[in-house]
Amino acid sequence: MVAGPQILSAIFLATSENWRRNCTAFILGASLSITLVITVAYVLGIEAIQAGTSNTTLGVIILIVLLFAMVNTYQTRHEAKPPEWIGKLGTATPRFSFRLGFLLLGFFPTNLLTSVAVGSYLAATDTPWVDALPFVFLTLFVLALPALVLLAFGERAEAILPRARNWMTTNAWIVNEVVLVFFIGLSLSNLLA
């Protein structure tokens, strides 16, 4: 969920001029959109089940979406570059940061697929919606890590964050693949159960 431009944005915002407000706005936007997408997927999944779609059918659809995301991530791993707008983050405003968090975490293709998979999985397994909250909180915690590191370590963190950004730029596809494999495993275990 947070590999690639998501964590890079969080790192850039943590080192921006108005970093406290920018990071807060970014995380608020992200929390709103992630929760919204999961909720919509959950409600649509529940309605599909009530309309007669079997849990197995829904599980297969989720699995296909996740496999597509995994193949796409692997195929585009060498093409992935930080977007041009990332250079604007050093002078970002809280309004821009909120909008970025909302759009990037809710509607970036891999994030959209992941959130839909979470909501659909909960619906398909007849699990309460509140069981999505640990996923949401963990995602937000990881997004908040650059700001938390900056709060905890001050100037020393300013040297660490650019190195972390560079590593993520180079290896983001690996992190995405690990997350997708985890969700594919969950989906398969549900289908085979």
CA distance 80 to 77: 6
Percent of the chain at pLDDT above 70?
92
At residue 82, the pLDDT reads: 61
Whether the pLDDT of residue 66 is over 70: the answer is: yes
What pLDDT does 102 receive? Answer: 97
Give the model's pLDDT for residue 15: 81
Residue 130 CB coordination number (10 Å): 8
pLDDT for residue 80: 64
List pLDDT tens digits, range 134-162.
999 999 999 999 999 989 988 788 778 77
Predicted local distance difference test score (pLDDT) of residue 3: 66
* Cβ–Cβ under 8 Å, residues 20 and 147: yes
Distance CA 190, CA 193 (A): 5
Q: Tell me the H-state helices in the chain.
A: 5-14, 19-50, 55-75, 94-107, 109-124, 133-153, 155-192
Q: What confidence tens digit (pLDDT) does each residue in 15-61 have? A: 888 999 999 999 999 999 999 999 999 999 888 878 876 667 777 87
pLDDT band at 94 (very low <50, low <70, confident <90, very high): very high
pTM for the whole structure: 0.77
Contact 155, 22 (CB under 8 A): no
Higher pLDDT, 84 or 15: 15
- Percent of the chain at pLDDT > 90 equals 36
